[in-house]
């Protein structure tokens, strides 16, 4: 069975200081077992920034439209549509959209559920 999902701002809800559309897992995905990754489409309006985020999951951002800037730990880089950015786990990051157009990207992260912090003995 083919599952088709359209990436659309109208299907997004407020998360992390921007509009996000959860893509993976999709509605009904649990029937066939839970996928090992998660994905969401993110939409950041002109002149705004995402909330600071830090998680125990690796993440890849695939930029769909617009241009922006990523602050990751002590680094900053500019990016544009067509770029792929790799965000290592446990690094605080913020995405900025200083331009006049909507910035959009798909984030793929793994594992699907953030692991609990390790407890030292």
Beta bridge partners of 53: 93
Show the 3-state SS of 87-121: ECCCCCEEEEECCCCCEEEEEEEECCCCCCCCCCC
The predicted structure's pLDDT at residue 54: 95
Domains of the chain in start order, with CATH, are: 13-27+35-110 (2.60.120.10)
Q: Residues 6 or more apart from 31 whose CB is under 8 A from it?
A: none
What average pLDDT does the segment 61-85 reach?
Answer: 97
Instruction: Read off the pLDDT of each residue in 70-80 and give the average, rounded to a whole number.
Output: 96
- pLDDT per position as a tens digit, 11-34: 999 999 999 999 998 766 556 678
- Higher-scoring residue by pLDDT: 117, 89: 89
What is the average pLDDT value for the chain, to the nearest integer? 91
pTM comes to: 0.88
pLDDT for 37 equals 92
Distances (CA, A) of 101 to 45, 80, 96: 7, 12, 12
Identify the pLDDT of residue 25.
86
Residue 117: per-residue pLDDT = 72
């Amino acid at each position: 069975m083919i599952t088709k999902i359209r990436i659309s701002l109208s299907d997004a809800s407020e998360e992390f200081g921007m509009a996000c559309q959860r893509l993976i897992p999709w509605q009904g995905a649990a029937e066939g077992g839970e996928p090992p990754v998660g994905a969401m489409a993110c939409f950041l309006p002109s002149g705004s920034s995402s909330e600071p985020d830090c998680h125990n999951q690796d993440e890849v951002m695939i930029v769909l439209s617009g241009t922006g800037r990523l602050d990751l730990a002590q680094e900053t880089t500019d990016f544009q549509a067509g770029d792929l950015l790799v965000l290592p786990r446990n690094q605080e990051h913020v995405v900025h959209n200083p331009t006049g157009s909507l910035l959009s990207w798909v984030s793929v992260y793994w594992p699907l559920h953030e692991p609990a912090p390790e407890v030292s003995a």
